[in-house]
Amino acid sequence: MNHLGEVGKTRHLVLHDYGMGGLWWWVWAESAEEIVLACAEVEVVTAPEAVERAETWALEEVHLDAPDPNPLSGLRAQREAQRGQPGFGVLAGRDRVYLRCQEDGDEAVYLMEFGPDGRRLRQVEVGPDGGAVKTTEEDWPFNPPFDLYDPQYASLEIDSTDFEDAWHRARPESQG
């Protein structure tokens, strides 16, 4: 039983990181996995120094199963809409994920390697002329996580050898 008298629920530090900033909450749930399965685009932060730092903030406490509306309502609705789609969750839980992405209107193609937390580790940008530039997480001022449960990413998956081949052919960004 926790200090609120609820059996089985514990408080988790949860972040919705949108790149230029983030929204933080304490979320009461049975597990961290229950939170990411119920809410899109969130991560449960477990690093002891981050949790200790957050203890000093005046964060809102939210119960995962609280009735709508609440701060998690939109993220829960987004996850529920994803749940029945082909590819939901197929990339989650892997040590490495490789994707090939192209933004609408952008001529460049991006080959990206992600860690299990959905953050980019390495990236190759292939320009329209075929020239390729490689970058790592040290090169990016922002690196919000990709939600690997999101089914939109399943069709973008590539084999690790395709990524590694492109990585070895690409030049470092500093040689621009």
For residue range 123-156, list pLDDT tens digits in order.
999 999 999 999 999 999 999 999 999 999 999 9
6 in Cβ contact with 28 (< 8 Å): yes
* pLDDT tens digits, one per residue of 27-76: 999 999 999 999 999 999 999 999 999 999 999 999 999 999 999 999 99
* pTM, 2 dp: 0.89
Measured in whole angstroms, the distance separating CA 1 from the mean position of its chain's CA atoms is 31
At 8, the pLDDT band (50, 70, 90 cuts) reads confident
Q: Sheet with 10-17: list strands edge to edge.
A: 43-45, 10-17, 22-29, 61-63
- Are β-strands 43-45 and 10-17 bridged in parallel, bridged antiparallel, or unpaired? antiparallel
Asked whether the CA dihedral 170, 173, 174, 176 is positive or negative, the reply is: positive
* Angstrom distance (rounded) from CA 29 to CA 20: 27
- Are β-strands 61-63 and 22-29 bridged in parallel, bridged antiparallel, or unpaired? parallel
Please determine, for residue 23, whether its predicted confidence score (pLDDT) is greater than 50: yes
Q: Give the pLDDT score at 5.
A: 46
Q: Give bridge partners of residue 160 from the DSSP assignment.
A: none
* pLDDT tens digits, one per residue of 65-107: 999 999 999 999 999 999 999 999 999 999 999 999 998 888 9
Amino acid letter at 57? W
Please calculate the CA angle 155-161-162 and round it to the nearest 5 degrees.
55
154 in Cβ contact with 86 (< 8 Å): yes
* Angstrom distance (rounded) from CA 58 to CA 69: 20
At 2, the pLDDT band (50, 70, 90 cuts) reads very low
